[in-house]
Amino acid sequence: MAVKADIQFMQRALELAARARGKTSPNPMVGAVIVRNGKIIAEGYHRRAGEAHAEVIALKKAGSRAAGAAMYVTLEPCCHTGNTGPCTRAIIDSRISRVVCAVRDPDPRVNGKGVARLRRAGIRVSTGMLRREAIRLNEQYLGFHRNKRPYVILKLAQTLDGRIATATGDSRWISSSESRKYAHRLRSEVDAVVVGMGTVRADDPALTVRLVKGTNPYRIVISQSLAFPRSCRLLDDNSDHKTIIASTEEAIERFSHRRKRGSLAFWTIKKDKGGLLNEQDFIEKATAFGLRSLLVEGGAGTATSFIRAGVIDKYVFITAPKVIGKGISAVGDLKIRKLTEAVHFEDWSFERFGGDMVFSGYPRRDGK
């Protein structure tokens, strides 16, 4: 079969997988197509955690026509029994003769064992087709399994000259309405959004998904002071019980004396030698809570702390074509003295989004 056709089938499987973006956590997004005589005869994708896997949906649609056909699937089929039976079992039973995977599943219960199981059953299996695209699609899932901690995205909206607000604190609106939609989509794709107290005080954000369809993530305020304003949406509008407060033991105790804890969740974070909140401990708490991905939305202080802690997996800078000069800088002191010590990116791209430029980059791991 022509390589070009192979790629088109895998491309289609990736498209199907992406339909469930933001809905599958803690599972990955997966798409599958079944091909017979060069034609797609069945398709499927994993719609949300707890529901059927892509492979099983496609096989069900194909029925007896699956015998002797090829399956293109964006991730190695699972071989363990979770909410659903193992996909490898379903594939073998259906007498599929060839399986093409984009990328291995790093989940320790699978991680090569799925491919091995299929091969033992006499099925031809190849992996790696459109691997790069498949990795990008599931970067959060794969990153979580690689690092055993949530995948952390930093998103900042800045001016062309690198400011997130004027000197007097005005930040509404730096970015265009289209890129605010983009920001809401980012929110809908992660398990939790993280902000510092500066942002709470300046913007009183709701941190919900409103401009696009999608599920609201958890809302985490990380702050040493817990100096919340008297009225503030994150505390006042918590009917979904998704606001989490991360601070020191003392600050949480003080907070509890002054205000109702109500439906709020609290994470006690250790302090650094310098007396600051320890981001690594924060990340451990987030991991223990079961979060697979975090979106750090700022402000500058919070962004800077996370960059310095070396935990940012992806940077998203929304740059508005505006110049304001002196103001609040997007990123604070990283203790960088030489340009060679800068955060460099091993892979990056930028695109126009509405009236703004959106940069997405993956930092090099050798440096900061």
| Helix 54-62 with 3-18: angle, nearest 10 deg | 120
Q: Single out the residue of 27, 159, 179, 248 in contact with a copy of itself (rule: CB under 8 A).
A: 159
Residue 282: its H or E element:
helix 279-289
- Nearest-Å Rg of the Cα atoms of the chain is 23
b/e map 273-283, b = 16+ CB within 10 Å: eeeebbbebbb
- Pairing label, strands 327-329, 163-166: antiparallel
Min dist CB 179 to a copy of itself, Å, is 14
CA pseudo-torsion sign 127, 130, 136, 138: negative
Contact flag: residue 153 with a copy of itself (CB under 8 A):
no
Residue 26 touching a copy of itself (CB under 8 A)? no
The least distance separating a copy of itself from the CB of residue 127, rounded to whole angstroms, comes to 31
User: What are the phi and psi torsion angles at 262 (to 5°)?
Assistant: 45, -125
Cα–Cα nearest to 327, from 199, 198, 157, 169: 169
Nearer to a copy of itself, 111 or 329 (CB): 329
The residue whose two tokens read 């087709």 is 129
In the complex, the smallest distance separating the C-beta of residue 223 from a copy of itself, rounded to whole angstroms, is 20
Which listed range, 10-18, 38-46, 124-132, 335-343, lies at the site for a copy of itself (CB under 8 A)? Answer: 335-343
Q: CB–CB of 153/318 below 8 Å?
A: no
365 binds a copy of itself (CB under 8 A): no
Query: What minimum distance in Å lies between the beta carbon of 295 and a copy of itself?
Result: 17
Collect all residues with Cβ–Cβ distance below 8 Å to 186 and sequence separation of at least 6.
153, 155, 295, 316
- What is the C-alpha to C-alpha distance for residues 233 and 153, in angstroms, rounded to an integer? 23
Q: Which is nearer to a copy of itself, 240 or 333 (CB)?
A: 333
End-to-end CA distance of the chain: 45
Distance, CA of 352 to CA of 9 (rounded, Å): 29
DSSP designation for 215: P
Binding positions for a copy of itself, 50-109, rule CB under 8 A? none
Bond preceding residue 26 cis, omega within 30 of 0: yes
Q: Residue 163: which H helix or E strand, with range?
A: strand 163-166
Q: Where in 305-334 is the site for a copy of itself (CB under 8 A)?
A: 307, 315, 317, 321-327, 329-334
> By CB under 8 A, is residue 29 in contact with a copy of itself?
no
Sign, Cα dihedral of 246, 251, 253, 259: negative
CB of 345 to a copy of itself, least distance (A): 5
Q: Which amino acid is at 326?
A: K
Q: Is 55 a catalytic residue?
A: yes
Considering only the stretches 1-9, 164-172, 217-225, 260-268, report the one whose residues sit in contact with a copy of itself under the rule CB under 8 A: 164-172
Q: Provide the CB-side half-sphere exposure for 27 (13 A, CA).
A: 26
- Specify the amino acid at residue 301: G
Q: Interface residues for a copy of itself in 165-194 (CB under 8 A)?
A: 166-168, 170-174
Site for a copy of itself contains 361 (CB under 8 A): yes
In whole angstroms, how close is the CB of 169 to a copy of itself at the nearest point?
A: 9
Min dist CB 45 to a copy of itself, Å, is 33
Query: Measured from the CB atom, is 88 or 171 closer to a copy of itself?
Result: 171
Query: In the complex with a copy of itself, which residue's Cβ is closer, 235 or 318?
Result: 318
Residue whose CB is less far from a copy of itself, 74 or 305: 305
The residue annotated as part of the active site, out of 43, 55, 189, 279, is: 55
Of 32-40, 122-130, 208-216, 338-346: span binding a copy of itself (CB under 8 A) = 338-346
Which of 5, 67, 160, 276 binds a copy of itself (CB under 8 A)? It is 160
Site for a copy of itself contains 225 (CB under 8 A): no
Q: Measured from the CB of residue 346, what is the shortest distance to a copy of itself in angstroms?
A: 10
Q: Does 357 bind a copy of itself (CB under 8 A)?
A: yes
Tell me which residues touch a copy of itself (CB under 8 A).
Answer: 158-163, 166-168, 170-174, 304, 307, 315, 317, 321-327, 329-339, 341-345, 348, 350, 352, 357, 359, 361
Catalytic residue annotation: 55
